[in-house]
Structure 1
Amino acid sequence: MAKRWKLYTASTLALTLALAGCSSTGNSGDSASKEGGEGSDEKKVLNLSAASDIPTMDSSLATDQVSFYIMNQTQEGLYRLGEDDKAVDGIAEGEPEVSEDSKKYTFKLREDAKWSNGDPVTAKDFEYGWKRTLDPETASEYGYIMYDIKNAEAVNTGKKKVDELGIKAVDDYTLEVELEKPLPYFKELLTFATFYPLNEKYVEEQGDKFGTTEEKTLYNGPFELTDWETESKFKLVPNEEYWDKEAVKLDEVNFQVVKDPQTAINLYETGKIDIVGLSAEHVDNYKEDPNFNTELRTSTFFMRFNQNDEIMANKNVRLAINKAIDKEKYVQSNLNNGSIAFDKLTPKEFVKGPDEKDYVEGVKSELSYDLEGAKEAWEKAKKELGKDKIEIELLTYDSETSKTDAEYFQAQLQKNLDGLSLKIKQQPFKQKLALESKGDYQLSFAGWGPDYPDPMTFVDLFVTDGAHNQMEWSNSEFDKLVKDAKGELADKPEERWAAMQEAENILLEDAAIMPMYQAGAAYLQQPYIKNYQRHKFGADMTFKHVDIEGKE
């Protein structure tokens, strides 16, 4: 929902409702009330809503929560996430053979895996897919996630040839991968969409249209995408060529793009969708409902300051904005869904360090609500900029909840910072991501969800010239700490942990971003939905084992 919560947000930037699946989109098909239980001849149909259309189905180009979420249902890598977020067999069978230095992996692939067109899924598909992603000509924003593979960074930056990448199809069903350093969470990392295989012949035939429509996409996972109508609806149906198709219980998953929370609730109340995310004004009305649920997610939301802009480049401007918004009031009044006000980048209750303490315990932040401090920093900023009046534009998503949130930020900043005028620019999800990638904004509301179980999935977002930095912030000490944590400290867990924490401290001390909150989710889910797996990292949900039982 990385999944950037992701660009959630993967991701990642993110969806405003931090519930990629709970506000997951659903087509309101007329089969919504016809699912049967065990032994029934009726179709088993799951109907959902989504807050956004799918930006792309090209695993080399995807950067957002929605794309990763849908690709997790329709594609499969060497492994996929199972219960408790553990990597389970996908196209790979069993445990890989690992060298003594833990840097060389040999995977045996199952011979019964096929693409939806009947072609076998082979080791060559993985070699082609990974090389395509890292080829500089592909311009993949997510190529950096592969930098643990030998020569990946050098290939991606044009310093080495693509053929020098540390991946080799030994034969059709044996894949050899070499790493730069040992990586304890490598199997879990391989569940992420960027590591999916690609059918070379098919992709090359589609050219730049690959992944843009259902007809221009090939599938090797539990489901296929169909009925994809831009900004309207899409559907998943079982992939008859999937090697484990007997495990798939659902006959259809229908999605309808719904950007208004009340509309989504109306669809739920009339039985046209089975899960619905609740916005703040609806939580109190439903908290006694037996189908009501809340959870704290591992995604965080924040403001990006584009330092290519003279105003945003001023640290006192960033400090003033950071301290001028009452985040506690915001999460209680605007969200009211289990989200918590948060002053850091990496979420709490995500990962523990070598000392078994929560990673965030070692991160410091002075970016909490402080009205006096905000006014003081603002006056300094105006003097430094030689301006009495300052106008800033806030880029955000185009949903109704995003509008309400932006209006709250606008009211707080204009009230608390004398001379500030905040304009709101709402954009559809895909267009917003594009503007951020181009650096065409001043202030942007964004979010991120983890792609793998390690703090680095958050921390390295902001290295100089990083694909997801997108705000021209640069700090050499921060860069060195991240580089060390990825390199020479790889086998020194305590020192590596401390380096990541110190890097995050630098980011926050400079007020490079404005942390806002760690996302919660309040939602209603029908009790007849069984085995609906939610994940803390990677794709937000998995439908492979979902079943419909006991629906009347």
Structure 2
Amino acid sequence: MATDQTLNLSTTETISSLDNSSASESVSLTALYSTNEGLYRLGNNSKIENALATHTTVSKDGLKYTFTLRQNDKWNDGQPVTAKDFVYSWRRTANPKTAAGYAYLFEGIKNFDAIQKGKMSPSKLGVSAPSKNKLVVTLSEPVPYFKLLLAFPTFFPEQQSAVTKYGKQYGTTSAKTANNGPFTVSGWNGTNNTWTLKKNSNYWDKKHVHLSKINFQVVKSPSTGLNLYNQKKLDVTPLSGTQVANYTNNAGFSKFVGGSMMYLQLNQKHVKALKNLQIRQALSQIVNKNALATKVLRDGSTAPKGFVSTNFVQNPKTKADFASDAYVKAGVAYNPTQAKKLWAQGLKQIGQKKVTLTLLSDDTDQAKTTTQYLQDQFEKLPGLTVNIDNVPNKNRLARSASGNFDLVVSSWGADFADPINFLSLEETGNSTNNGGWSNKTYDQLIKASQTTNANNPQKRYQNLVDAEKVLMQNQGVIPLYQPATTELWRPNVHGYVWNPAGMSRGYKSVYITK
């Protein structure tokens, strides 16, 4: 290994919070995942690995989890990490006054819903510490992916003395926080664009942490990042657009795909034409998704097989990719001849000869490129006029939520590696189902996966496969492309763990060779 174990990285934004109860965006969560630790960590392929939990027992009904905690982990001030730190943290996150962005991940824990509605005290949450190294969690219903959630910073412990000491200032700077993970954070004053993670001498597994420090700096532009990489001031840099094609054969080129989807929501509540199945299918089949990914965007993105991304979840028995098991060709295929037939059928059924639709999206360069391509493809359908409306991200989200759109380009990045994290979005009444698609069979399959078959992995998996097929057969949404993370890595940097969902960036085991 190299003598100097310093890694130089960039992000596109600064940290917004180092409070794991309130952090809700990727830069902050990634910092917390590196500087703190919960019951588990994620290994390769979202494999659950023990962190502070040394042993876990689960009751037969899947409702009670008992964790034995290791006794040699400490906070950065030397105080021991105990089961009470988990209880304190989870109650604080569940408290509606905290307004935790990821509190909804606690939904399966006993009494959480009542606590959120103000009907119960946070002290009634289904979590307890019978002793220093025993943590007991009681669920209100089985949560088959519960262990995956526990690797997410929202479920990490918090040091009550530190939160009390800093009050509302807790987590607003690197000096006003507490760390128990592989690294500690320093040099972040709450707004600045540089900070450093340093190896934590109190960390229980410090012998497997090889980096002495990780320097972060905010770099907004991919071209600036590439220049810094070539000057050896960065060890990793993201690539975009034409950079991807230019560097594909570079020794350090890395491409990560899975866990996210760009898709089109169609307003089936308020737009007469979009309530028609044939019209929705025509809009999907007139778009060449492969050309969009490989010839228009050219940034490493790939064509989708369905709504749930590829390289995300495997069949428990056969290890086949979920996206392959649930594949409905007509839901994502490019078939302009069939599209025009479906379009004509749809127009006849609704009694119209012409349709005008507005396509809503963000105002980034990539979003504009995508909407221009979609407009060109859609207008190949006779009698269809598509107007483009590119607006700032916040406006797009607000308009989506209020149903103020005809077609909207939406994105989803999974919080944990389970198909339900995608499929629940399209349940009837889900707050993210802005298009208002609704199907009884679909809802029943989702419910069965969460109740009747919750503790039967294979039957539950089949419920979700069948649900995805219903969604695609009925064209509830139109998957457009799977974004890829493409980066240049210094070839002598090893041990990085990437996952398609949840905490996708793991730096704990990284090391640098000569």
TM-score bracket relative to the smaller structure = 0.7 to 0.9
Output the CA distance in 2 between the equivalents of 1:352 and 1:190.
20
Instruction: Note if contact 1:462-1:473 (Cα within 8 Å) is conserved in structure 2.
Output: yes
Please name the residue that 1:16 is paired with: none
Within a 5 Å distance, the mapping from 1:454-473 to structure 2 comes to 454-466=418-430, 468-469=432-433, 472-473=436-437
Amino acid at match of 1:352: Q
Where 1:489 maps in the other structure, the secondary structure is coil
1:153-175 deviation line (CA, Å, top 9, x unaligned): 45445565533332111133321
Please tell me whether residue 87 in structure 1 is matched to residue 51 in structure 2.
Answer: no
CA contact (8 A) 2:363 2:390 kept: no
Q: How does 1:392-431 map to 2 (within 5 A)?
A: 392-396=358-362, 398=364, 400-413=365-378, 418-427=384-393, 431=394
Partner-residue secondary structure (3-state), 1:419: strand
Helix, strand or coil for the counterpart of 1:366?
helix
The CA distance in 2 between the partners of 1:517 and 1:68, in whole Å, is: 25
Partner-residue secondary structure (3-state), 1:332? helix
> Which amino acid in 1 is paired with 2:74?
K
Q: 1:359 aligns to what?
A: 322
Q: 1:496 aligns with which of 447, 453, 460?
A: 460
SS in 2 for 1:70: helix
3-state DSSP class of the match of 2:258? strand
Q: Which has the higher contact order (CA 8 A, sep 6+)?
A: 1
Pick aligned residue for 1:344 from 306, 315, 340 = 306
Alpha-carbon separation, structure 2, partners of 1:548 and 1:441: 51
5+ residue gaps, structure 2: none
Normalized against structure 1, the TM-score is what? 0.78
Q: How does 1:117-196 map to 2 (within 5 A)?
A: 117-156=77-116, 161-180=121-140, 185-196=145-156
- Say if 1:77 and 1:193, in contact at 8 Å, map to a contact too: yes
Is 1:525 the counterpart of 2:489? The answer is yes
Q: Are residues 84 and 354 of structure 1, via their aligned partners in 2, closer, same or farther at CA, if it must alter by over 3 Å?
A: closer
Distance 1:321 1:441 in 2: 20
Amino acid of the structure 1 residue aligned with 2:55? E
Which residue of 182, 190, 213 corresponds with 1:222? 182
| Residues 7-156 of structure 1 mapped to structure 2, 5 A cutoff | 37-38=1-2, 40=3, 42=4, 44-92=5-53, 94-99=54-59, 101-156=61-116
For residue 205 of structure 1, report the CA deviation from its aligned partner: 5.9
1:10 — aligned with what? Answer: none
Q: Which whole-Å CA distance do the structure 2 matches of 1:123 and 1:58 have between them?
A: 19
Q: Of the candidates 503, 509, 512, which is equivalent to residue 476 of structure 2?
A: 512
- For the structure 1 residues 449 and 502, does the alpha-carbon distance in structure 2 shift closer, same or farther, using more than 3 Å as the test? same
Alignment equivalent of 1:482, drawn from 446, 459, 468: 446
User: CA 1:149–1:535 in 2, change beyond 3 Å: closer, same or farther?
Assistant: same
Q: Give the gaps of 5 or more residues in structure 1.
A: 1-36
The answer for the alignment partner of 2:263 in structure 1 is 302
Displacement of 1:354 = 4.5
| Equivalent position of 1:243 in the other structure | 204
CA gap 1:381/1:277 in 2 versus in 1, 3 angstroms: farther
CA distance in 1, matches of 2:458, 2:226: 47
* Aligned-partner Cα distance in 2 for 1:124–1:439: 41
**Distance (Å, rounded) in 1 between the aligned partners of 2:272 and 2:221:** 33
Paired with 1:161 and 1:480, the residues of 2 have a C-alpha distance of: 33
Q: Work out the CA distance in 1 between the residues paired with 2:337 and 2:392.
A: 30
Give aligned pairs, total: 506
Instruction: Name the residue aligned to 2:294.
Output: 332
Distance 1:439 1:507, change over 3 A: farther
Partner deviation per Cα, 1:439-482 (whole Å, 9 max, x = no partner)? 47635444334433432222223334445445555444433322
Deviates more, 1:447-456 or 1:411-420: 411-420
| Distance change in 2, residues 1:209/1:280 (3 Å) | same
- Alignment partner, residue 243 of structure 2: 282
TM-superposed CA distance for 1:432, in Å, is 6.8
384-393 or 211-220: which moved more? 384-393
If the length of structure 2 is used for normalisation, what is the TM-score?
A: 0.83
Closer/same/farther in 2, CA of residues 173 and 393 from structure 1, 3 Å limit: same
Task: Supply the distance in 2 between the matched residues of 1:335 and 1:119 (Cα, whole angstroms).
Answer: 51
- State yes or no: 1:371 paired with 2:371: no
* Equivalent residues of 2:293, 2:303 under 8 A apart: yes
* 8 Å Cα contact 2:273/2:350 also seen in 1: no
- Out of 150-159 and 507-516, give the one that drifted further: 150-159
TM-superposed CA distance for 1:130, in Å, is: 2.0
- Structure-2 change in CA distance of 1:228 and 1:414 (3 Å): farther
